[in-house]
Structure 1
């Protein structure tokens, strides 16, 4: 597996080895010992699968408390996937990194705890999967506006995105109460 370190500490792009021929391909989508060597938690406790059509934008989402690290991957279609550092006191607070994930490139993206996550579907449809480091607790979910001008994500939009009601009501990061955001701890693991 090739690991690409991004400009945000702990956020990784992973390129699993793919073995293919004219019949198809094989790849490991998760192997605990390999991923743990790169700082991804050994105990990923929940798998999620999402199907969305072109133009759907989901995010930016986080949980606090009960933060979730997410190992994300697209099985079919293409998305632009984003991680935003929302840890109070972090030297990279409010900065983002994005990556194109697709069924074709087979890349994975590790979004550590303390980061908001979102994605935009750039293909006719996308089948999107992610493993989480903690369970989903809807009462602790927080939403940050996808178009927050202070963050300035350069989404590859094709028209106005299709948003859920909760994403339409999301706050700007500067308006999210501090107690609703994780705290940066320099010596803490990003997992």
Structure 2
């Protein structure tokens, strides 16, 4: 009887371990759990929370940033990191290309879609006239059958003729897929 119970216990344990999902991490913190818990974890990393604006301020990858915690059904589904400072067109190309290289050289990520910008790229014209979006996307390893579950991507954003990077750490396991409709 002990052998049967032991085998049953081990079987249940292995099923439970297999069922656990690897989720996206930002700053080594799983993008999961409650918003208040995530804010506390980010505060423990040195970020300062501004409750009136509902974001955190701090340093990320050597830059001053604002960090926003996005939830669905009270579970964190996205961490959005925005440069606090803006850049001109030449500076944002360098910043974007540097991030592409940093992700490409980081073994924690698998390239999904990214292309460095050439010096001749007219970002202002392309974004304004052609509505072009500059984005790069990566899957955070370990990769599973659906690479989008741990998707990390960034884009060039524009405000009043100045540019900044917006980066997203998505946990697609916690996203809404119409179940509440």
Band of TM-score, shorter chain: under 0.3
Q: By percentage of residues, which structure has more helix?
A: 2
Q: By percentage of residues, which structure has more strand?
A: 1
Which of structures 1 and 2 has the bigger CA Rg?
Answer: 2
